[in-house]
Amino acid sequence: MKKIIPFLVLGMLAACAPDKPKQDTEEYAQEETSKPNAVAENAMTGKGLGQVTHVTLNTPLEGERIGRGKAVYEMKCQACHKLNDQRVVGPGWSGVTKRRTPEWIMNMVTNTDMMLDKDPEAQKLLELCLTRMPNQNVSIGDARDILEFMRQNDGEK
């Protein structure tokens, strides 16, 4: 009996392990960024470094995405980023969708560490703000929702 208990405990732990989170890949072409050519190519095209290589933007904006993006902003972003051009810890979000590509924004949100280490534009922001953006473990789907919220904040309809 004593020999069976450890196996039962391990079996129960394995059964209770969480499933892998699903990624929202509905509108995004993804590419392996461990390839040096892919990393260099994305950096040179202004798309940043990460899984997101193409984003299809919606016109008009999707209200449901905006609502979800606002909720993520309030939970994970608001402490450091304001919706105007005021810099608190990080830069303000006003006009960000005019200055950066959708791919760059989503890669910055989902792949923060690599972007800050290797992307020239992200490194300039780091020099300006003097604080590394923490990795908030934002999924690709949540990043797309945040992007939609940013577009609405910048006056797009």
Q: Is residue 45 part of a domain?
A: yes
Q: Is 18 among the domain residues?
A: no
Check residue 6 and give its pLDDT.
Answer: 64
Write down the pLDDT at residue 31: 42
* Structure confidence at residue 30 (pLDDT): 46
* Domain housing 133: 24-153
How would you class 22 by CB atoms within 10 Å of its CB: exposed for 0-12, middle for 13-18, buried for 19 or more?
Answer: exposed
Q: Is 74 part of any domain?
A: yes
Cis peptide before 91 (omega within 30 of 0): no
Q: Is residue 62 domain-resident?
A: yes
Q: Domain with 118 in it: what CATH number?
A: 1.10.760.10
Number of domains in the chain: 1
User: Cα(126)–Cα(104) distance, rounded to whole angstroms?
Assistant: 15
pLDDT at residue number 26: 47
Task: Report the distance separating Cα 47 and Cα 106, nearest Å.
Answer: 9
Question: Residues in the chain with pLDDT < 70?
Answer: 1-3, 6-44
Does any domain span residue 138? yes
Residues 6+ apart with CB under 8 A from 31: 38, 42, 51, 53
Find out whether 100 and 91 touch, Cβ atoms under 8 Å. no
**pLDDT recorded at residue 45:** 76
Contact between residue 108 and residue 136 where contact means Cβ atoms under 8 Å apart: no
The pLDDT of residue 43 is 58
107 found inside a domain = yes
